[in-house]
Structure 1
Amino acid sequence: MATVREDNIPHVVRTAADQRQKDMFSATIGRIEQVNSTIRLLRLYLNNDQPALRHLPGQYVDLHIPEIERVGGFTITSPPQTAMRLPAPTPSSTTPPSAATFDDPYLELAIQKSAENPPAAYAWQNPEAIMNAPVRFRVGGNFTHPPMELSLQEFRSMDNVVLIAGGVGINPIMSMVSAMDLQGAKRMGGLPTRLRVLYTSKRGTDSDGKPEEVLFEERLKAIAAKRAQKKDDVDFRYTLFNTSKNATHDSEEKGVPENMQLFRRRITHDDLMEALGPEERRRNTLVYVCGLPAMTDDYVELLRKAPGMEEKRVLCEKWW
């Protein structure tokens, strides 16, 4: 899989069998956000003098950086909607220009600190050294929503979706959740009738020993709060499983939406079965799992053998 870290097998070798788009796109590094001591977010603004970019939630980029021979593999964490170039308002438009936002199209990447990975090391330079720097990329990947394994008719019947992430396996899952939320309920590629997000991660500490932010925890909490207020017949629940020992109970419980749960333990098999829902409705259930190989292998084996499930509706991508 392509994500924020690679071992000694190059990304392009590991993912050689994946589908890739033919077009190469140009972009500029336009925003850098430090999430914690090991993860930063890069926003790549797309150059205007090229075709519109179309990609699916869950895909990655082959990132080409000038003067760096090794191609980086980084999962796209933003939804496809942010890469779309919105039309400028016309004089005849009934919407005042001041009432609409026309942001420049962009992709977001989450990059883990790694001195051994040249593309990641480049992204972890002093922000002033890489701000406005040019890069090129090609989109690829088979771990997508909608899934390539299902026909359009089959996908339309999927009204129960379960998303399971471990550590930085949250990257493609974040893109999927964001895309569904922006698309809205009862629309193709949008929110299903029932959606479960299970995310397990350790909370790191900074140089002073204080707990740091878990990647995308606040973004997911905000979506949960939004869905709790919508009351649009979407049964959405987000659960964070914190496997570290340094989190304080009070600070984590403050402001938690009613459709969010917090546990200080690992995801269990019982959690997975509960997320699937009743057996009688599992024929319309779609599951995505992304994380370290040991985790994904265990979860996928259980979920594919669960009564009412089948292999093609339990999709997996491994973070190496």
Structure 2
Amino acid sequence: MATVKDSVPHVVRTAHDQRQQGLYSATIGRIEQVNSGIRLFRLYLDPEQTHFFQPPLRHLPGQYVDLHVPEIERVGGFTITSPPQTALRLPAPTPSTTTPPTAATFDDPHIELAIQNSPSNPPAAYLWKPPAEIMNAPVRFRVGGNFTYPPLTLSRTEFEKVDNVVLIAGGVGINPIMSMISAMDLQGARKLGGMPRRLRMLYTSKRGIDKDGRKEYVLFEERLRAIATKWENREKEVDMQYSFFETSLATREKATAMDDAPESSRLRVFERRIQHEDLFGALGPEDEREHTLVYVCGLPDMTDGFVELLKKTPGMDEKRVFCEKWW
């Protein structure tokens, strides 16, 4: 994702992160204006670049790219918002296949980036040129990052025991979280790396107003709602609950669910900030937190405060609370 402090180069700030070898080539093939401050980009991978020393791209949910754009010397750091499945060219299913493929799985291989308008960040400024000027432009990138699902610090045996995952995002901190939950959703239930037995998603963001006075879309709000709706009546497989906290007091309309919403509700909307009680509720009972993973990504105050609290919460192992800092 774009940095908060553009004066700190991405490659310097992330110098100690793990990175894949080699550069991948791609083409800007799709640009979508989400709202006045964010664009979504689909970078289509070059199908001719795979050879014996550069295998097909296999990134982990939550990782970012070191992005090289034309005419800009500085390298940009942007989180991949799509799941790994969209970067792979998989064979078409045989007639005997009983489960239909998802559109994302069998689309042309690509990765997706959500780029915030940042005029002082040269790579981001390039990507905010008029779409006609950059459509089909060639780019190169390298994948890196330690904020991943599954976490790099757990063994396969430890990860197989995970039965509760809590995802907490604030603002553009939704970017790596979106990749994670999309990957889980595509993988399905009862599969390694797929939907856990229990999942809680907490997302807080402001809702902007465009120049014509209309309410703008919040990044990924429709995708998250669709995933929550998909699993809504499948509690025996996955106990998922998605809570959205809108903090734009001046622009909001009446929420679809308020603070007195029943606990059984799968989709809840609140007109306030995330509170400590929300975090404790997301973790579940103290005696059931042993195999819980928590991911937090948001602005500095939110991230630091939540991580410190969660690591000290009874029943939680601080080594299972992960955060991404881009500042």
User: Shorter-normalised TM-score: what interval?
Assistant: over 0.9
* CA apart distance, 1:189: 0.1
Q: Is the 8 A contact 1:59 1:142 kept in 2?
A: yes
CA contact 2:190–2:237 (8 Å) conserved in 1: no
Report Cα offsets for 1:270-299 as digits up to 9, x if no partner. Answer: 110111000011001100000111111110
Given the two structures, how large is their TM-score scaled by the length of structure 1?
Answer: 0.93
The 4+ residue runs of structure 1 with deviation greater than 4 A are: none
Of 140, 143, 164, the residue aligned with 1:136 is 140
After superposition, residues 73-88 of structure 1 pair within 5 angstroms as 73-88=77-92
Q: Report the Cα offset of residue 233 of structure 1.
A: 2.2
| 1:212-250, Cα deviation, whole Å (9 max, x unpaired) | 111111110010111114454210000001111134434
* 3-state SS of 1:300 partner: helix
Tell me which protein shows more helix as a share of its residues. Answer: 1
Gaps of 5+ in 2: none
Shift of 1:111: 0.1
Query: What is the aligned-residue RMSD (CA, Å)?
Result: 1.9
CA distance, structure 1, for counterparts of residue 316 and residue 70 of structure 2: 46
Q: 1:226 to 1:207 in 2, by over 3 A?
A: same
Aligned length: 311
Q: Residue 88 of structure 1: CA displacement?
A: 4.7
1:253 to 249, 253, 256: 256
Shift of 1:253: 2.4
Partner of 2:2: 4
Listed as ranges, the gaps of 5+ residues in structure 1 are none
TM-score normalized by the length of structure 2: 0.91
Identity, % of aligned positions = 67
Q: Which residue of 1 aligns with 2:95?
A: 94
1:86-165 equivalences in 2 (<5 Å)? 86-88=90-92, 93-94=94-95, 102-165=106-169
Query: Equivalents in 2 of 1:220, 1:253: separation in Å?
Result: 15
SS in 2 for 1:35: strand
Which letter maps to 2:18? Q
- Contact kept, 8 Å, 2:69 with 2:140, in 1: the verdict is yes
Measure how far apart 1:182 and its partner are: 0.4
* Residue 309, structure 1, aligned to residue 316, structure 2: yes
Structure 2 partner of 1:280: 287
1:283 and 1:308 in contact (8 A); partners too: yes
C-alpha contact (below 8 Å) 2:168/2:297 kept by paired residues: yes
Measure, in 1, the Cα distance between the counterparts of 2:11 and 2:139. Answer: 17
The answer to whether residue 170 in structure 2 is matched with residue 166 in structure 1 is yes
* Pair 1:222-2:226 in alignment: yes
Deviation for aligned residue 1:160: 0.3
Structure 2 match to 1:33: 32
Note the C-alpha offset of 1:208. 1.8
SS at match of 1:318: coil
